[in-house]
Structure 1
């Protein structure tokens, strides 16, 4: 028996109708509906499959669902239970049709699940509480989210050595690209083409600055735009799902991320190729790069990136100052590690691991999901410079060198997600947290 997203009816009734045996009545179906809605909202809001799995199972046990079993993928959440009295199992499913990150909602849902599992909420109170969470206004208005993404692009330009003019150009390019992508999205255009157009617009601004010989490091503009566009949240969650053993969900997320990165590279490559053919002086010299030491403008830029990322993903306002500090920490650690001649990927991994461990500790103490505190803090580590360098090499005819740089950028991106997850796991070694128990896999069978 199946109930898809948007259906609030029971998943079905066992033989004899509802209420004829313990664990078969309306309360069981109401519990299933609550757990499925929670799982759907968690996945749609940007949480991991492991967290959704655990939350659904805890709700099932809290309200007496007999032998609950959960099934979580990126596209749907499923729940089944085995009624007493020899009745056949009951199964229901909800589709995850729209995914829009909302970390404020995630924090509220985690609180709801924790209170319900502790016995502090009746089933009816939990249902009303979930309805209240869904009906709340977003933490920030739409214009603030659009402005935050544009600010992220501007701060990214500053991060790699751009000045005021470059920051303004990156802000405008990101804003125009984002609004254009939103306009295309309302007309049913796929995310891949939305991302490609946004990257192309940012590259076009860079090309125009080069064409008019503007007194600005034009490469910093496109790097800022790329940092704003890279799907960092999805990347972190994909690696977490994969390492945690949710291979289907993790692989699906990772493939989605790779397609979006391909779209970004396609937009950059198309514009730079046409510009080079038209004689625009796109040079491999003086391309933007990370400073060799921690500098005030770049450190403040990292803080602005983390805070803007948090606003764009609707992180509660009280967490913006800690997130900004975390962005500064991740960037400072990365720069110092690079100064020790570490390659980009290992330096990024170690910096992300440090932030992951500290962020998970703070999240455990304040009883909030670790994603809320950790994911924005690693946004300054996104490999925008490497992506731009790789595409310039490719359009300049050096395919071998360009390919290697793009592979390095991909390895760096994956290192962010792996480092964040491993940082959180280090905390579990010191102080284990309650989590879903998974059976040990036997090797060689």
Structure 2
């Protein structure tokens, strides 16, 4: 095998690993560091990495007398697939530990990207129903509202999957989802059922919010990848705008038909705290299940999400506003997730993304839309509150990772310096020479 061919294989492996991480929500810093670790471990020194929202590029020049070798891959497909994310993370760890070689790593990446999942499609749809039911409990819904929210969530999942097969832009799928949720609530409001239909809308909005994208955007901004952060934020804004357009259209149509939905969703108060915590736990675990997370991490995710929801609800009840309680709860998620991820053998990003779902500001967004639909411009304040909560959640999680990483470093003495808020990938690159020396010592 020629040196050029070997170089191509190493760069191709690193790019394929980076592509799978980026397409599943990993931050640009994590993707860059992981690709650099893979290339360096396999013998390529001083590889140049360039990561944007849609493109990955690696360049390597063996010497000043030789032309550089450069490979590029485009990221066109994005989804929440915690199973692929975990399997790629394990592959990188095995490679850096010299448990597999280059050929085996290339074969494993190909298998990961080409194989499906054992979880049947109907089970994933049922998982989305669990998300809707959990969020409905969290925001104070009763039995009837919880059942309706579960069926609404399953309908949303089927609708968006169908629109995805039609290759429509994601914006239109979000518009359709928001319209479906609001029209369902209008239909419930037109019946004699003693329920608050606005809770159905709120539970559905939380499902449509781009929590994973916002976390990635804040992480990229904090780690200096401003171009990628700007692209992620624009994607989140377009996604949220689609929800706003859909829900506003449904509320307007409901008003034209004489069905007025309540502006402020009901709240259970601390008297319903155990039930609300249960709802947060169920919603987070169901989200992880629907995202193909390993079964072993579902219970820890439920426990972390329930505890974070309790922190948030208690602080809000004591007059702490919404942004600061959200930040405190998110910091808790970041710190605990970093430790639990090692035990569960999953990247922290899997736990963080699922545990933060119940805290997404669906109530504030729904209240803002309801007020704006009635030409009440105080809804702008509610929309600003929703944005503040979303930023607090993302920044709080990253701060939690900053706090947890050096604590674990000092406890285990695994690294010499803080590498940044790593949510997936190796904490520190182990080169082949260092690994061989350690192996020879034993």
TM-score > 0.5 by shorter chain = yes
Q: Does 1:67 align with 2:67?
A: no
Map Cα deviations across residues 378-397 of structure 1 (whole Å, 9 max, x no partner): 11101111111111111122
Partners of 2:268 and 2:229 lie apart in 1 by: 30
CA contact 1:239–1:418 (8 Å) conserved in 2: yes
Unaligned runs of 5+ in 2: 421-442
Map Cα deviations across residues 145-188 of structure 1 (whole Å, 9 max, x no partner): 22212221122112111112111211222222332222222223
Residue pairs, 1:101-180, within 5 angstroms: 101-180=80-159
The structure showing larger relative contact order (alpha-carbon pairs under 8 Å, at least 6 residues apart) is 2
Aligned CA distance change for structure 1 residues 236 and 91 (closer, same or farther; 3 Å)? same
Partners of 1:31 and 1:277 lie apart in 2 by: 61
Map Cα deviations across residues 255-312 of structure 1 (whole Å, 9 max, x no partner): 111111111111111111122133223343x622362456222111111111111012
Candidates 360, 363, 380, aligned match of 1:403? 380
CA contact 2:196–2:262 (8 Å) conserved in 1: no
Q: Does 1:375 align with 2:353?
A: yes
CA contact 2:86–2:346 (8 Å) conserved in 1: yes
Partners of 1:354 and 1:294 lie apart in 2 by: 22
Partners of 1:85 and 1:436 lie apart in 2 by: 32
Deviates more, 1:338-347 or 1:172-181: 172-181
The alpha carbon displacement at 1:364 in A equals 4.0
Candidates 26, 33, 52, aligned match of 1:54? 33
- Partner of 1:82 in structure 2? 61
Partners of 2:17 and 2:328 lie apart in 1 by: 34
Candidates 227, 239, 256, aligned match of 2:235? 256
Partners of 1:88 and 1:243 lie apart in 2 by: 35
Map Cα deviations across residues 95-119 of structure 1 (whole Å, 9 max, x no partner): 1121122111211211211222233
Partners of 1:418 and 1:70 lie apart in 2 by: 25
Aligned with 1:25: secondary structure? helix
Q: Does 1:413 align with 2:390?
A: yes
- Partner of 2:306 in structure 1? 328
Q: Does 1:243 align with 2:215?
A: no
CA contact 1:139–1:315 (8 Å) conserved in 2: no
**Higher-helix-fraction structure:** 2
Aligned with 1:375: secondary structure? helix
- Partner of 2:435 in structure 1? none
Aligned CA distance change for structure 1 residues 437 and 426 (closer, same or farther; 3 Å)? closer
- Partner of 2:291 in structure 1? 313
Partners of 1:158 and 1:393 lie apart in 2 by: 24
Partners of 2:379 and 2:268 lie apart in 1 by: 19
TM-score for the superposition, normalised by structure 2:
0.89
RMSD: 2.0
Residue pairs, 1:91-106, within 5 angstroms: 91-106=70-85
Aligned CA distance change for structure 1 residues 95 and 229 (closer, same or farther; 3 Å)? same
Partners of 1:198 and 1:324 lie apart in 2 by: 26
Partners of 2:105 and 2:347 lie apart in 1 by: 19
Q: Does 1:349 align with 2:327?
A: yes
Partners of 1:260 and 1:291 lie apart in 2 by: 31
Partners of 2:399 and 2:201 lie apart in 1 by: 31
TM-score for the superposition, normalised by structure 1:
0.88
- Partner of 2:205 in structure 1? 226
CA contact 1:79–1:91 (8 Å) conserved in 2: yes
Q: Does 1:340 align with 2:318?
A: yes
Aligned with 2:58: secondary structure? strand
Partners of 1:62 and 1:429 lie apart in 2 by: 24
CA contact 2:61–2:68 (8 Å) conserved in 1: yes
CA contact 2:185–2:201 (8 Å) conserved in 1: yes
Deviates more, 1:29-38 or 1:286-295: 286-295
Deviates more, 1:355-364 or 1:221-230: 355-364
Deviates more, 1:367-376 or 1:307-316: 367-376
Partners of 2:272 and 2:66 lie apart in 1 by: 66
The alpha carbon displacement at 1:64 in A equals 0.9
